[in-house]
């Protein structure tokens, strides 16, 4: 926590990915949230559904579909109707907005794209970009990294989510955990 107190003022944004290994505790989550909020830093969190930590006040939280249902205390639905009519998913999103009070909730949906949900704004579904899928390893990490980078660069949450969706589409088209280059992302965005 002392390290974070020293380092957070020097960064534009903070990403926390909870892999459920026990390092990220509620005390640490509260401290990061407090320091980020107090210094006006962007805080984007990828939660772990079995730690059930509160991320109240984060700039954005980015669960995947399964994590969203579990974090909302709901049974995971195997049925995936058209995203904007998926009442189970929309209810999970509503509960998470109430629970964490983030500015944005970005739910990644694999081959179904992403759902951006914000208070007092209609949900926005972003369709997955048509690409061959070779390996989904790292797609969520790519999404949170590019989403956060977009926010830090001044993009709106919707613009940042569109960028994250493009980047994830590139990442899954590569074998193994792979990086997405600036040139690849630029080409993907130019093709929108």
Distance CA(145)–CA(162), nearest Å, equals 13
Q: Is 141 a catalytic residue?
A: yes
CA distances (Å), origin 108, targets 46, 83, 117, 187, 189: 10, 11, 11, 22, 19
Label the pairing between strands 104-108 and 114-118.
Answer: antiparallel
Residue 144 vs residues 52, 76, 112: alpha-carbon distances, Å: 19, 22, 17
Q: How far apart are CA 192 and CA 189, in angstroms?
A: 5
- From the candidates 18, 30, 78, 141, give the one annotated as an active-site residue: 141
- C-alpha to C-alpha distance for 128 and 108, rounded to whole angstroms: 10
Burial state string for 141-177 with b = 16 or more CB within 10 A and e = fewer than 16 = ebbbbbbbbbbbeebebeebbbbbbbbbbbbbbbeee
Q: Which residues are catalytic?
A: 141
């Amino acid at each position: 926590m002392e390290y974070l107190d020293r380092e957070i003022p020097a960064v534009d944004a903070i990403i926390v990915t909870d892999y459920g290994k026990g390092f990220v505790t509620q005390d640490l989550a509260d401290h990061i949230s407090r320091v980020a909020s107090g210094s006006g830093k962007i805080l984007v969190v990828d939660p772990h559904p079995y730690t059930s930590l509160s991320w109240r006040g984060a700039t954005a939280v980015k669960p995947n579909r399964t994590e969203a249902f579990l974090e909302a205390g709901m049974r995971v639905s195997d049925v995936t109707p058209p995203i904007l009519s998926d009442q189970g998913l929309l209810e999970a999103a509503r509960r998470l907005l109430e629970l964490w009070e983030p500015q944005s909730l970005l739910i990644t949906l694999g081959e179904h794209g992403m759902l951006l949900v914000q208070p007092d704004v209609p949900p926005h579904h972003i369709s997955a970009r048509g690409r061959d899928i070779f390996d989904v390893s790292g797609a969520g990490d790519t999404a949170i990294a590019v989403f956060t980078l977009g926010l830090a660069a001044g993009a709106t949450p919707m613009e940042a989510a569109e960028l994250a969706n493009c980047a994830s589409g590139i990442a899954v088209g590569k074998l193994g955990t792979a990086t997405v280059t600036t040139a690849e992302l630029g080409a993907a965005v130019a093709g929108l």
